[in-house]
Amino acid sequence: MLAGIHATWEFESDALVIRFERGIRTPRLFQALRERRVPYEALASATLAPGRRGTVVLHAVPRPGADPLMEAAAGQLKETCDPYRLALPADREEQAARLRDELTEVIPPGPADPADRFDTGFLVAAPQGPLSFKAYDGKATFDGSSEVSFRWSSTMATSEKWKTGDQVFPLRELSGVEWRSPDSPGGFLRLLPRGGAPRADRPDHDPASVVFGLGYGPVHDSLPFAAAVLSAIRAKDRTPVPVGARSAAHGDPGAIAERIRHLSELHQAGLVTDEEFAAKKTELLAEL
């Protein structure tokens, strides 16, 4: 176990467990995360470097695609809010170096092909909450399993959003999320549709986006939300159809039409080739 500033790292047989403090000086994102269990296979390396004001920083570097939180953040987190960085007093550098070496030894080699990193989905669990937050122009809510909804503010939402009305997005219709930090001008959360472009370039006009502002959509609220939605989308993509469901769908025109529609979405999104789409569609039509 290694206790540092704002967090404690505990080394288990198969994972690094990071427990964050709840003190007033602890970044609010850490307080929202509370605890994270990071399998060693989710890490790429471990480094140690000088920090600020007489500290050293032990950094467990996550693999790309292993953690939905870091995937959603897309490099926008400030160093002081990076949950994989542990700051320690400089006089503990020798102890930190030993633990860096021990951590390096238990990190398994990564896949030879970078594309293989998504074969098992996210390795680190998404944050459990919050599942709703207040944006500048509305409220975003995620039910935790099947859909995201946006309810527009009567005073802050643009007329374009008011014309479309409150929105509900089934996860099966989404391919991902785009998060822009509220710490920078123009922050927003956009839900990305399958097989199509956003309905508007500007997030304040796009009914699949909520925009941030001073005090609205802070990192500790909006980023865990984005990560939870992204993880759920990835899980939906990877959930196999139960054998019983496939049998029940055989010969059912409605079920087959739904499967062809889903196949078409995958084709339009570039996840299925022209040849694969044509072959599978022919196979499904043969079931009628």
Q: The domain spanning residue 188 has which CATH number?
A: 2.30.29
Tell whether 154 and 212 lie within a shared domain: yes
C-alpha 201/C-alpha 187 separation (Å) is: 14
62 shares its domain with 32? yes
Query: Cα separations (Å) of 46 from 9, 63, 106, 170, 191?
Result: 13, 11, 10, 38, 33
From first to last of its 288 residues, the chain has per-residue pLDDT tens of: 899 999 999 999 999 999 999 888 999 999 999 999 999 999 999 999 999 989 999 999 999 999 999 999 999 999 999 999 999 999 999 999 999 999 999 999 876 444 444 444 699 999 876 799 999 999 999 999 899 999 999 999 999 999 999 999 999 999 999 999 999 899 999 999 998 777 778 999 999 999 999 899 999 999 999 999 999 999 887 654 444 444 344 556 666 776 777 667 666 756 557 776 787 788 777 766
Query: Is the domain of 108 the same as that of 146?
Result: no
Residue 253 has which token pair?
A: 């025109």
Q: Let me know if residue 278 belongs to a domain.
A: yes
Residue 52 tokens, joined:
């600020």
Q: In this structure, is residue 126 part of a structural domain? A: no
Residue 52 lies in a domain: yes
Within 10 angstroms of residue 53's Cβ, the number of other Cβ atoms is 7
Q: Does 193 map to a domain?
A: yes
Answer whether residue 213 is part of any domain.
yes
Using CA atoms, how far apart are residues 212 and 230, in angstroms rounded to an integer?
19
* Domain match, 183 and 105 both: no
CA–CA distances in Å: residue 145 to residues 122, 131, 148, 196, 231: 16, 11, 9, 23, 10
How open is the CA angle 25-30-35, to the nearest 5 degrees?
130
- 100 in the same domain as 25: yes
DSSP state of 266: H
Q: CA 98 from chain center: how many Å? A: 32
Q: Is residue 192 classed exposed, middle or buried when 0-12, 13-18 and 19+ CB atoms within 10 A define those classes?
A: middle
Final residue before a domain boundary, out of 59, 93, 118: 118
Give the residue from 198, 219, 237 where a domain finishes. Answer: 237
Q: Which of 197, 215, 237 is the last residue of a domain?
A: 237
For residues 274 and 176, membership in a common domain is answered with no
* Same domain? 278 vs 230: no
On whether both 233 and 250 belong to a single domain, the answer is: no
The residues, any chain, with a CB within 8 Å of residue 121's CB and separated by 6 or more, are 234, 235, 238
Q: Which pLDDT score, from 0 to 100, does residue 252 have?
A: 61
Please state, in angstroms and rounded to a whole number, the distance separating the CA atoms of residues 221 and 28. 9
Domain housing 109: 2-118
- Residue 35 sits in the same domain as residue 99: yes
Give how many domains the chain has, as a whole number: 3
Residue 127 lies in a domain: no
Same domain, residue pair 200 and 227 = yes
**34 in any annotated domain:** yes
Where are any strands of DSSP class E within the chain? 2-3, 7-11, 15-20, 35-39, 43-50, 55-62, 85-89, 132-134, 138-142, 147-152, 167-170, 174-180, 188-193, 209-211
